Amino acid sequence: MTAVVELAGVSKWFGDTVALSDVSFALGAGVTGLLGHNGAGKSTALSLLAGFSRPSQGSVRVLGVDPHTDAGVNRGLGVVSDGEGTWAHASARSQVEFLARQRGVRDPRGAAANALARVGLAEAADRRVGGYSKGMRQRVKLAQALVHDPQVLLLDEPLNGLDPAQRRADVDLVAALGAEGRTVLVSSHVLAEVERMAGRVLVVVNGRLVAEGEPAGIRDLLVDRPRTLRLEGTRVAELAGLLLAEGLVVAVRSDPDGRGVVVETPRAVGLADAVPVLAQRAGATLRRVEPVGEDLESTFAHLVRAARGAGR
Amino acid sequence: MGTTLFGFSLRGILFRGRTAAFAALPLLVAVVAVVVIAVTSVAGRYGVQTTLTANLLTGLVVPIVALVLGIGAFGDERDSRTLPLLRGVARPRWHLVVARFAAAWVSTFVVVLPASLACMAVGISINLPAADVVGGILLATALTSAAYTGLFVLLSLLTRRGLLAGLAYVVLWETFLAGLAPALRGLSIGSYGRRVATLAIPGDVPVGTVATTGVVTSAVVLAGIAVGSVVLSSIRLQRMDVG
C-alpha cells in the first residue's frame, strides 16, 4: 500500500490535556473509518491531517507534504470539519464556487454545479446558507470538500444532523468515493455506520489508537468480551442453570426489577451460540436478551484494557 | 469578483448587519456638518472644521469603524468556525491576509466616506483651497484607516477577544493616555493621522493631540504600520492552529 496519508508517532496536547498520544497509522486508497467516543481524539487527528493544527510531537504527511505549512496540499485534499464550517451570508453555489477557484479548479462554476448536484443541493444552491437546515449545511460542507475532485478526503462526523434517508444516501456516497480510488478517512462513534462505508477501521480511545483492522474483526472485538445480560421469558432460571453448568456464565442473579435473571458471561459470542440450544433443552421461551449497564464508554474501556493486555 | 479572495471577503464584510449599524456613525458626522454650515457663520466654522476633521473623523469615526471591520476580517471567521475553511485554500497564507486586509480597509474607507465628505464640505465652505481640503482629508482618512485596519486585523488573529482589546486600545490609549506626553504621541496612530489631516485644517490642531513629525513622515509611519501589521498577520496565520 502506498501511504497517501501518514501519522508517525504523533502526540498532541493542549496545556495539561493530552488529546492524542503517540498515534501512528498510514492510509492508502479506500475508505477507512475512525471510530471512537466523543472526546477520544478523532477530531484532533483529523485536524492535524487537514493541517489545521501542528502536532506537539511526531510528523504528519498528506500527499507527501506537511499539510500545516504547505497550502498547496489543499489542491488534493478535501475536508469536512466538525462544527459549523459554512459562510451563512453566502449562497451554497457562491461559496462552493469560491473554494473551487481558490483550489485551482479550471472551471469553478461547472465544478460547483456538479458537486452541489452530487450532494443533492442543486435546486437550493442559490439560497443563502444562513437559511438552510442543519442537514443542508452539512451537505454544503460535503460539496465544499468534493468540488475540486480531491484525492484525499477527511470527513469528521459527516452524518451528523442528517435524517435517516440522508444518512443512507451519504453512506452510499462515501463508499462510492472510496471505490473511485480516493483515500477517505471518515470519523464516527457509530460502528454500524462505519461498517457500511469502510473496509478498514481505526479505533481511538482516550487519545490512543487501540485497535485497527477490518470492520468484522473490530465488531468481534467489541462484542466478544465480558458482558452482563438480562434474560427475560419463561423458565429463564432453568436456562441460566444450564448456562452456568456449561461454564458459559460465571454468575447468575435475579433481576432486581423482577424481569427475569441477570447473567455475567466472560465471552458473549460463545453465549450467543449456545443459548438457542440450551433454551430448547430447558424448555425456556426467551422474550428479550439485553445488555445491562453498558454504554459506549465501557465498551471502549474494554478495548483499552485489551490493548494494554496486548502490549500496545 | 464574488469568487476572488478580495471579492468574497468584501461581500462578507459589507453585507453584515453590524457594518450597516456602524455606518450610522459617519452619517451622524455628516448631519452635524450640514447643520453647522446652515446655522454658523464662516468665521465660526473654523473651529468646527478642526473638531470635525481632527477629533471626530480621524480621532473617533475612523478608529471605531476600522475596529469593527478590521476585527471582523478574521474574527468573524474564528467565531463562525470558518477560518479552517478559509485557510484550506491552495494559496499562500499572505494572499489571504492581504485580501482580508484590503477588503476591510476599502470597507472602512467607504463606510466613513460620508463623514469625510462632510469635513470636506465644511472646509470648502470656509474658503480653504479645495485641493488641499479634499486631498488632505482623503489622504488622512485612507492612511489612518489603513493603519488602524491593519492593526485590528492582526489583533483578530492574536486573540479571540479582539473587539474588546481593540476597544480598550482606542478608548484608553488613543483618546486619553497617548495625549499625556509627547513621547507617548509617537505611539499613537491617531496622532499621525491628525498630522496628515492638518493639510485640510486652518492653522493647527491642539499640539497635545498631533504627532511631532512632519506630514510626510507621519504618512510614511501610517503606511508602515499597515504594511508591518499585514506582514505580522501573515506570519501569525501561517503558524497558528485554526482547528
Q: In chain B, what residues touch A52 (CB-CB under 8 Å)? A: 84, 87, 241-243
Q: What is the pLDDT of residue A152?
A: 97
CA distance B236 to B19: 26
In a shared domain, residues A196 and A267: no
Q: What is the pLDDT of residue A47?
A: 95
In a shared domain, residues A137 and A174: yes
For B46-78, what is each residue's pLDDT tens digit?
A: 888 888 888 889 989 999 999 999 999 999 898
pLDDT at B209 over 80: no
User: Residue A85: closest CA among chain B residues belongs to which residue?
Assistant: B82
In a shared domain, residues A58 and A151: yes
In a shared domain, residues A24 and A136: yes
Q: What are residue A162's phi and psi, to 5 degrees? A: -95, 150
B85–A81: do the CB atoms touch at under 8 Å?
Answer: yes
Q: What is the interface size between A and B, counted as CB pairs within 8 Å? A: 84
Percent of chain B scored above 70 by pLDDT?
Answer: 97
Q: In chain A, what residues touch B89 (CB-CB under 8 Å)? A: 71, 74, 99, 102-103
Q: What is the pLDDT of residue A310?
A: 47
Last residue of a domain, one of A221, A247, A279: A221
Alpha carbon of B234: minimum distance to chain A alpha carbons (Å): 12
Burial of B216 (0-12, 13-18, 19+ CB in 10 A): exposed
Alpha carbon of A110: minimum distance to chain B alpha carbons (Å): 13
Chain B CB within 8 Å of residue A94 CB: yes
CA distance A46 to A186: 9
Nearest in space to A35 (alpha carbons), one of A214, A290, A163, A267: A214
Q: What is the pLDDT of residue A44?
A: 95
For B128-159, what is each residue's pLDDT tens digit?
A: 899 999 999 999 999 999 999 999 999 999 99
In a shared domain, residues A40 and A96: yes
Last residue of a domain, one of A189, A221, A253: A221
Q: What is the full DSSP assignment across A98-129?
A: HHHHHTT-SSHHHHHHHHHHHTT-TTTTTSBG
CA distance B78 to B104: 16
**Segments of chain A scoring below 70 in pLDDT:** 1-2, 224, 293-301, 304-312
Position with higher pLDDT, B181 vs B160: B160
Partner-chain residue, chosen from B8, B82, B89, that has the shortest CB–CB distance to A103: B89
Chain A CB within 8 Å of residue B3 CB: yes
Q: What is the pLDDT of residue A311?
A: 40
A41: left (phi over 0), alpha (psi -120 to 50) or beta: left
CA distance A305 to A34: 19
Q: If contacts are CB pairs under 8 Å, which of residues 74-93 in chain B contact chain A?
A: 80-82, 84-85, 87-93
In a shared domain, residues A189 and A302: no
For A264-304, what is each residue's pLDDT tens digit?
A: 988 787 888 889 999 999 999 999 888 886 655 566 667 76
Chain A CB within 8 Å of residue B224 CB: no
Partner-chain residue, chosen from B2, B12, B90, that has the shortest CB–CB distance to A102: B90
Chain A CB within 8 Å of residue B5 CB: yes
A87–B90: do the CB atoms touch at under 8 Å?
Answer: no
In a shared domain, residues A120 and A243: no
User: Residue A78: closest CA among chain B residues belongs to which residue?
Assistant: B88
In a shared domain, residues A172 and A299: no
In a shared domain, residues A137 and A35: yes
Last residue of a domain, one of A203, A221, A239: A221
Position with higher pLDDT, B176 vs A293: B176
A54–B241: do the CB atoms touch at under 8 Å?
Answer: yes
pLDDT at B207 over 60: no
Rounded to the nearest integer, the mean pLDDT of chain B is 90
In a shared domain, residues A254 and A292: yes
Q: Which residue type occupies B97?
A: V
CA distance B32 to A156: 54
- Indicate the number of domains in chain A: 2
Q: In chain B, what residues touch A86 (CB-CB under 8 Å)? A: 82, 85
In a shared domain, residues A182 and A256: no
In a shared domain, residues A32 and A129: yes
Chain B CB within 8 Å of residue A87 CB: yes
> Which domain CATH number covers A281?
3.30.70.920
Position with higher pLDDT, B117 vs A192: B117
Range of the domain at A151: 5-221
Q: In chain B, what residues touch A98 (CB-CB under 8 Å)? A: 2-3, 8
Residues 6+ apart with CB under 8 A from A30: A178, A183, A184, A198, A199, A200
Q: In chain A, what residues touch B84 (CB-CB under 8 Å)? A: 47, 50, 52, 79, 81, 85
Q: What is the pLDDT of residue A312?
A: 42
Q: What is the pLDDT of residue B196?
A: 93
> Which domain CATH number covers A126?
3.40.50.300
Chain B CB within 8 Å of residue A183 CB: no
